Structure 1
Amino acid sequence: MMKESVQADASALDGPALFATMSSMRAMRRLKPDAVPDETLEQLIQAAVWGPSGGNMQCYEYVVVTDRDMMARLAPLWKRCVDSYLATTGKYAPAGMDEAAYGRMVAAIEYQRDHFAETPALIIPCYRFPEPRIDEEGLIASAQALGPAGTEHLMNTQTRFQALAEGSCVYPGVQNLLLAARGLGLAANITIWHLMLEQEWKETLGIPEDMRTFAAVPVGWPQGNFGPVRRRPVADVIHRDRW
């Protein structure tokens, strides 16, 4: 069960500036329609590029949408994805979450859905994971290192392993992007709802078939104010030395 969240520790404000940024980086969904300068958006992508990727392969690409006509074409896709989420996973508040707080979050999601065509910028992080080069000798050495049970487990979890390998190459950069947005006074939030209709999104945006998308990040100037996030207490999530 989810334990009651608390506001970010005020002592974070006494630490490095980055701590204050992280402790006030709410998911901001109500955006002003005002344009974000291209050079500012490029700063966000630069921050993302500074993030690590597996093997330092750097096989990421970023689609940055600011064209009003394109955003209007994406708006119906966004609405279908959000409506699907709100009808299923997002229909009820998670266990332990305050109903009023959840209601406010849903209201913000609905506002973003209804005003999506006015979104100043949308960033789509993409990644094309290269085919691994593994020969027979390598496979034998791997099996010897893992042992029979470990090798069988790896074979049975290849889909999950591949998904996590790709995600680990993309999401550190996305977090950098979100932190940079907060530092520049921009509102942003990470979503993956577009994956429900990923093929349609890719076709609309001309994204190559072999390129996978990992998020849709709306970006703009906030209507509201940044403030302390509400998260579970650190003492409740630490397991020292073992579970």
Structure 2
Amino acid sequence: MTTTEHSPSDAPAADPALFATMSTMRAMRRLRPDPVPDELLDRLIQAAVWGPSGGNMQRYEYVVVTDPAVMAELAPLWKRCVDAYLATTGKYAPAGMDEAAYARMVAAIEFQRDHFAETPALIIPCYRFPEPRIEEEGLRVYAEALGAEATERMGRIQDRFSALAEGSCVYPGVQNLLLAARGLGLAANITIWHLFLESEWKAVLGIPEDMNTFAAIPVGWPRGRFGPVSRRPVEEVVHRDRW
């Protein structure tokens, strides 16, 4: 056996604790109104900051709302966003999803909507790319490397590419934050429904117009219990070597 080969006895005796955390990290929308200590919220942001960032630019910012007066100001915006979601995209259960399970999820969404003003904490991850510095010679090499067809295609999807590039700098940190919340016994869930009324949210929170927001994450102590998530089995989603 070479030094790079492993025998079955080399396998860990049990899954790392992180696996148990991930496998029980449900979207918890029913929150108690009890406040979350600032030091715990700071730990969530620290976990997010540990996430990777494109080019290690670290241009993320996090708005953390705990003031009940501000939360009360956001509550009507949240209601409008949730109502818009439930009337369109969220009106029917996705194909293949159990109707009863979907009804339970909608009930939790409605509970969160109706009690949003009591949310102990809300975290808004933000990111803003710097203006790119691209010279004519760089554009020439870019087009030469991709070829004419791919260069033209990239021109058509540039907005999507830019949005995904920013998202890739934010969402790994958000996942760290959610994992940290679960590890600390806090309930949290990621939503992007605030984007329906992003300008209004920015106005309430004083977020600069040129700063992009990527999620609204309510955080608090759970009313219910964590439990195993229900997901598609690995063998259904993996395509090895080719589709």
Normalised to the residue count of structure 2, the TM-score between the two structures is 0.94
Establish whether residue 226 from structure 1 lines up as the match of residue 226 from structure 2: yes
Q: The residue matched to 1:31 in structure 2 has which SS?
A: coil
Amino acid at match of 1:179: L
Question: What is the CA–CA distance in structure 1 between the aligned matches of 2:64 and 2:233, rounded to whole Å?
Answer: 36
The CA deviation at 1:181 is 0.2
Question: What is the CA–CA distance in structure 2 between the aligned matches of 1:14 and 1:125, rounded to whole Å?
Answer: 34
Partner of 2:4: none
Establish whether residue 172 from structure 1 lines up as the match of residue 178 from structure 2: no
Question: What is the CA–CA distance in structure 2 between the aligned matches of 1:57 and 1:194, rounded to whole Å?
Answer: 26
Partner of 2:31: 31
Question: What is the CA–CA distance in structure 1 between the aligned matches of 2:76 and 2:123, rounded to whole Å?
Answer: 17
Give the root-mean-square deviation of aligned CA atoms. 0.8
Question: What is the CA–CA distance in structure 2 between the aligned matches of 1:202 and 1:17, rounded to whole Å?
Answer: 38
Matches of residues 1-243 of structure 1 in structure 2 within 5 Å? 14-243=14-243
Query: Deviations along 1:103-123, whole A, 9 cap, x unmatched?
Result: 000000000000000000000
The CA deviation at 1:14 is 3.3
Amino acid at match of 2:110: E
Q: The residue matched to 1:72 in structure 2 has which SS?
A: helix
Partner of 2:5: none
Question: What is the CA–CA distance in structure 2 between the aligned matches of 1:23 and 1:147, rounded to whole Å?
Answer: 44
Work out the number of aligned pairs and report it.
Answer: 231
Query: Deviations along 1:3-45, whole A, 9 cap, x unmatched?
Result: xxxxxxxxxx930110000000000000000000000000000
Question: What is the CA–CA distance in structure 1 between the aligned matches of 2:140 and 2:199, rounded to whole Å?
Answer: 37
Q: The residue matched to 1:224 in structure 2 has which SS?
A: coil
Question: What is the CA–CA distance in structure 2 between the aligned matches of 1:228 and 1:40, rounded to whole Å?
Answer: 24
Amino acid at match of 1:28: M
Identity of aligned residues (%): 81
Which runs of 5 or more residues in structure 2 are unaligned? Answer: 1-12
Amino acid at match of 2:37: P
Question: What is the CA–CA distance in structure 2 between the aligned matches of 1:209 and 1:122, rounded to whole Å?
Answer: 20
The CA deviation at 1:197 is 0.1
Question: What is the CA–CA distance in structure 1 between the aligned matches of 2:128 and 2:142, rounded to whole Å?
Answer: 24
The CA deviation at 1:226 is 0.3
Query: Deviations along 1:120-161, whole A, 9 cap, x unmatched?
Result: 000000001111111000000000100111111111110100
Amino acid at match of 2:169: C
Q: Which moved more, 1:148-157 or 1:119-128?
A: 148-157
Give the structure with higher Rg (CA): 2
Q: The residue matched to 1:231 in structure 2 has which SS?
A: coil
Partner of 1:5: none
Question: What is the CA–CA distance in structure 1 between the aligned matches of 2:146 and 2:79, rounded to whole Å?
Answer: 46
Which runs of 5 or more residues in structure 1 are unaligned? Answer: 1-12
Question: What is the CA–CA distance in structure 2 between the aligned matches of 1:132 and 1:211, rounded to whole Å?
Answer: 16
Normalised to the residue count of structure 1, the TM-score between the two structures is 0.94
Amino acid at match of 1:34: D
The CA deviation at 1:48 is 0.2
Query: Deviations along 1:176-215, whole A, 9 cap, x unmatched?
Result: 0000000000000000000000000000000011101000
Runs of 4+ in 1 over 2 A off after TM superposition: none
Query: Deviations along 1:55-104, whole A, 9 cap, x unmatched?
Result: 00000000000000000000000000000000000000001100000000
Amino acid at match of 1:124: I
Question: What is the CA–CA distance in structure 2 between the aligned matches of 1:130 and 1:165, rounded to whole Å?
Answer: 12
